[in-house]
Amino acid sequence: MNLLTALARLLIFPGLLFCVPAAWFFLWVERKSVALMQGRIGPPFMQPFYDFVKLLGKDTPDRPGIVGLLMRLWPLLAVASTAGAVALLPVLPAYGGFQGDLILLLALLEVPPICIIAAGFSSRSIFSEIGSAREAALTVSYNVVFLLAILSIAAAQHTFRLDALAHLPPSPLLWLGIIALVICLPAKLHINPFSLPNAEQEIYSGPIIEYSGPELAMWELSHGLEWVAATGLVATLVAPQIGTWWLAAIVFVLLCCGLVVLLAAVAAATARIAIDNTVRFYWQCTLVFAVLVVSSAILMRFRS
Amino acid sequence: MKALDRLMCTCRRRSPWLFHMNSGSCNGCDIELVAAITPRYDAEQLGVQLEGSPRHADILCITGPVTRNAVGAIETVYGQVLNPKAVVAIGSCPATTNVFIDSRTIDGPLDKHIPVDVFVPGCPPRPDAIIQGIVKAATILAERAASPSPPEAPKPEAAPEVQA
Ligand code: SF4
């Protein structure tokens, strides 16, 4: 293991230097593709960057005491953990460097929803509390499918090492798992039809209603990073095995973009559905996928 | 430093986020404001976004002739929008109280209560005019932030406790 490659992975690709511009780029791709589907021109290429810098230059309200401290802490925690999750993705084929572990990746991906729930409850507005409660209900329902899918892929291969999982040969079980993951992504990214926690027209942007200025900028950034991490996770599982590092990087970025456009199309074509329907949908999915994925994982284990 | 300030100016000009507030309007202006952000007029090209919370907004868009009930709400919401901020008064009502003039339930016009940066006249104004007003307000916002001393602005207040 080489310290230099490890640092390069954490700080450059797919770490910090890549993932922050990629977060802005994916936010733009999402907004632009929705705009194109509605027959309009849509935001300029630099729009998420403009929004971010503008928010950095705004004031924040004075919030004394522990509540103020906590409210400042949650968005930072969300950004840090998502950036860490992106850096763990085994995009480049070279062995060595920082070898990630699936359990660490899943734990890091789970931190932002927890931060959003906590942020909503610490801001003590009734709208943010409703948003947090919805986020909590949503997280509990989609995570069962999400975790089952990933863990059964891992269990069938007898490994939790990320770079081993990235190079799995395509199998029905892998595709089943990937479909389950993609079904969970709209809920994980809070886009239509599962945009309940931040429903603008009903509860005024939900848990982050009280945030402003640099803190809101951090939430926007963490949202963008969640796009990168979630689509990147699926892309690494789908990506074919490629020896050259730059080709691997290009394939990774293209796959992510394709996934972003697909999710944006789903978001543009659907309307928000109510919380009880959402929860019921995910629990029904859970039933189907749980039976399918777990039984095929057991089968594959016996066969191998 | 100069370059950073210029960058901040551009970003403020290119990303106006709106908060829409109705101070007793007849709903004509509100419909036109909503029309301005529909696909037909596509204000998102200019970075315009309608926000749900005044905390997120840069530009406060107020419609209506300011009824007596609305005065307190306007002052609260104006305080909740954080600096730098601008106010756009949409329609003839907030400028002059329009057809509601001399009504005893009206306490207008709007600039009696908060400083207004741009008036968009019309009853109701066309969506194009509203977009132009918003762009003008965004330019004012960028210039104001660039000048060393911002004009008097009340300190943002804490959010009012909402009783469940
Ligand atoms: S300006 Fe005209 S359309 Fe607008 S609120 Fe007043 S009366 Fe209604």
Q: Please name the residue of chain B whose CA is at the shortest distance from the CA of residue A198.
A: B52
* Nearest CB partner across the interface for A213, out of B12, B44, B82: B82
Which stretches within A239-274 are classed as H helix?
245-269
**pTM recorded for the entire structure:** 0.84
Q: How far is the CA of A219 from the centre of ligand 1 (A)?
A: 37
Counting atoms of ligand 1 from 1, which one is nearest the CA of B99? 7
Q: Which amino acid is at A249?
A: A
Bridge partners (DSSP) listed for residue B19: B60
In this predicted structure, what is the pLDDT of residue B78?
Answer: 92
- Its ipTM equals 0.83
Across the interface, whether the CB atoms of B53 and A201 are under 8 A apart is answered: no
pLDDT in tens, chain A (304 residues): 567 776 776 677 667 788 888 888 988 988 898 888 888 888 999 899 999 998 988 888 888 888 888 888 889 999 888 888 887 777 665 554 456 678 888 888 889 889 989 888 888 888 888 888 888 888 888 888 888 888 777 777 777 777 777 777 777 777 877 888 888 888 888 887 777 777 666 777 778 888 888 888 998 898 888 888 888 888 888 877 777 777 877 888 888 888 888 888 888 888 777 778 888 888 887 778 778 777 877 777 777 6
Residue B131 has pLDDT above 90, yes or no: yes
The pLDDT value given to residue B127: 92
Q: Residue A39: list chain B partners with CB under 8 A.
A: 39
Residue A135: closest CA among A30, A278, A286, A289: A278
Rounded to whole angstroms, the Cα distance separating B164 from B150 reads 37
Distance from CA of B110 to the nearest CA of A (A): 25
- The pair of structure tokens assigned to B152 is 């008097």
Residues A165 and A99: their CA atoms lie apart, in Å, by 12
The pair of three-digit structure tokens given for residue A44, joined into one six-digit string: 């300029």
The answer to whether residue A50 neighbours chain B at the CB level (below 8 Å) is: yes
| Residue-wise pLDDT tens digits, A81-127 | 888 888 777 766 555 445 667 888 888 888 988 998 988 888 888 88
Mutate to test the interface with B, among A54, A56, A62, A212 (most CBs of B within 10 A): A54
Q: Which residues pair with B60 in a beta bridge?
A: B19, B87
| B142, closest residue in chain A (CA to CA) | A54
Q: Which residue, among A244, A195, A283, has the nearest Cα to A92 in the 3D structure? A: A244
Rg (chain A; Cα; Å)? 19
